[in-house]
Amino acid sequence: MKTIGIIIDSNAKLAVFLMENLKIIFRDYVAINSYFLKELSDGDLIRDDVILAMSKERAVEAKRYISNSENIIVIHRTIKDKEAYSIFTIPKNTKVLVVNDTKETTLETVSLLYQIGINHLNLIPYEEGGNYSDIKIAITPGESDRVPVDIQKIIDTGNRYIDISTFIQIINKLSIDNKEIRSRLIKYSETIITLDNGIKSQYKELYIKNEELDMVLNLSNEGILLMNNDNKISLSNKRFKVMFNIDEEIADKKIDMLFSKKIKDILYKENLIDELMEFNNKFIIINKHKIDYLGENAGYYYNFQEVTYIKQLEQNLSKKLRDKGFIARYSFDFIKTNSRFMVECVELAKKIALSDLTVFITGESGTGKELFAQSIHNFSKKCKQPFVAVNCAAFNESLLESELFGYEGGSFTGALKEGKVGLFELANNGTIFLDEIGDMPLSLQTRLLRVLQERQVMRIGSQRVTNINIRVIAATNKNIFEMVQKGLFREDLFYRINVLPINIPPLRKRQEDIIPLLQYFIGRSNKLELTDEVNSLLLNYNWPGNIRELENVASYIALMNEEKATLDKLPYYLLLQKNSFEKELTVIEGSFSITKGLEIIKMVDQCKSIGRKSIENSLRGFDINTSESEIRRILLCLNSLGIVSSNVGRKGTEITAYGKAFMKWIENRTNI
């Protein structure tokens, strides 16, 4: 334990007072001794860590008894603040006698009173034999018996207390500053008048800042350690001690005293960036940074994070992202179908959902690609993690890049000063849905390829990569194979995303779903009966906008019709197709026999692909006489109308989707 020695002349009572004064701050931390100057001899040697002298003169006189004169501190003393209040009430310019035990100490007391702000009085130092008959008030620090008897009012301030400035000197000399001593000193400073009014407030501010720093450090869930150039610990927080099972005070201790060689070797490495270390069955990530002061290395800062805490943070972040709307709202239960093709597609998607591999969804606009993407996510192991969707066609190149990858603050004009987290990072541990990936610029396709290969992203303006664990689902309504051949889409990226492909059939191939889905969408508001003409038109329509278009039509029908939906109250563009069929029929009737034309179309539809000679032979079986040249002329006309598609070679002639709709319109028209 460190020691303080007090050297006084011979006043034992004063020695006891000063020792008690020191104990207010240093009890349990410092041993306190007292020495009487008049009792010391030449053989005596004082070896205390700090020696307190009552004045400069006494310090000089005591030097020959002290082993190290640098340890001497001259005490500055002051009075209690409550004793000063009565002095401040004395009227201005009043003569006041100041009395102490010697002329020197009396002058010190006068100086003290002026120093603490008592400058409104005419202070008269007491001298033996002086005439003070015109003075009625005296001030004395515990020497009332020396005050002349004719003084009417004596203000005894009692023994002077050690000033806060002296305590700060002692603390610095002994290097024992800690939270408890700082707390005691603040409380003590509230009871005295400081010699330097600034010290009291400055120390209080320093104390408050230290308290705030301790609070911030100890609130952190990350371990924090500061180490100086001598490998001694300057500062640590509670979390660091908990991580490494330390229950002792470690300030000013060397790292070597706390850790095994294996851990020390890690901590002494020059560059520690996300270094993984195992300690007592815990995995801890360490980062180390050099502390520079005026260009010189002043030590090192360490940050310790438990992997389990990082995982917990990720889970909390995922929850917050879900709360902000980064969630998948739809599941496979939302997919309504009677179509065998669609049922097979859903079953395939459910199998794919059980894997974490990349999914590539193709299909026309409005077929439900995002519905499938969300359903796959909600059917997967990542269902409780974020689902982040981005439309690659909705942003220009630079904006899409910053949205996907994020950026550091100040990376470019207009960037947020705090930077921005990219969508890949927001989707970490979950799923990112890249809709309309066919519209992504080639330059970004290159960056995306690296993300898919390495599962790492780098923000714009950053040199640091971030590892990500995500499931990627991409989708497009474009012919991606044709784009690859034309060089509009990277071939290597295509093969990277086309791991688990799903093609969603268009609505025209799910004709058994058209009327049920329409009734489902209408049924949200009311129930309407559809006329046979309306049913026929809807079934024969090509539905280029698929389910999205069907839902829009349902909303229109529900609004415009009350009890029964009629042909004249359908969206105008649907009627245009009906008119188009009628025009095609007029052309056919004016060009060749309608019977021959319809039979040829039926044969093409039934046979999937058929040549002219085969058509001629089949027509003869129906007692329809024709020639191969006439058949050729009819097929050319039907091909120009878009009803069939004539191909060169073995493929022959095939009916088109438009042709199928036309034939159904003919059949329904005949039935009606």
H helices within 334-407, ranges in order?
A: 340-353, 369-379, 397-405
Q: Where would I find the beta strands (DSSP E) of 37-146? A: 50-53, 72-74, 77-78, 95-98, 122-125, 137-140
What is the mean pLDDT of the segment spanning 655-660?
72
For 149-179, write each residue's pLDDT tens digit: 889 999 988 888 898 889 999 999 998 878 8
pLDDT at residue 193, rounded to an integer: 72
| Cβ(546)–Cβ(507) below 8 Å | yes
For 224-244, write each residue's pLDDT tens digit: 999 888 888 888 899 898 888
CA angle 414/418/420 to nearest 5° reads 75
Specify the higher pLDDT residue, 577 or 593. 593
Residue 293 pLDDT more than 70?
Answer: no
pLDDT at residue 648, rounded to an integer: 57
Quote the CA–CA distance of 449 and 443 in Å, as a whole number.
10
Strand, helix or coil at 510?
coil
| Cβ(531)–Cβ(570) below 8 Å | no
Specify the higher pLDDT residue, 622 or 316. 622
Return the closest-CA partner of residue 662 out of 596, 580, 603: 580
CA angle 32/66/38 to nearest 5° reads 80
Quote the CA–CA distance of 354 and 383 in Å, as a whole number.
11
Res. 471 pLDDT band, cuts 50 70 90: very high
Residue 351 pLDDT more than 90?
Answer: yes
For 103-126, write each residue's pLDDT tens digit: 888 998 898 888 877 888 999 999
- Give the pTM: 0.47
What is the mean pLDDT of the segment spanning 26-30?
91
Residue 203 pLDDT more than 70?
Answer: no
What is the mean pLDDT of the segment spanning 38-55?
89
For 523-568, write each residue's pLDDT tens digit: 755 667 888 778 878 887 888 899 999 999 998 988 888 778 887 7
Q: DSSP character for 506?
A: P
Residue 76 pLDDT more than 60?
Answer: yes
Across the chain, what does the average pLDDT equal? Answer: 83
Q: What percent of the chain has pLDDT over 70?
A: 89
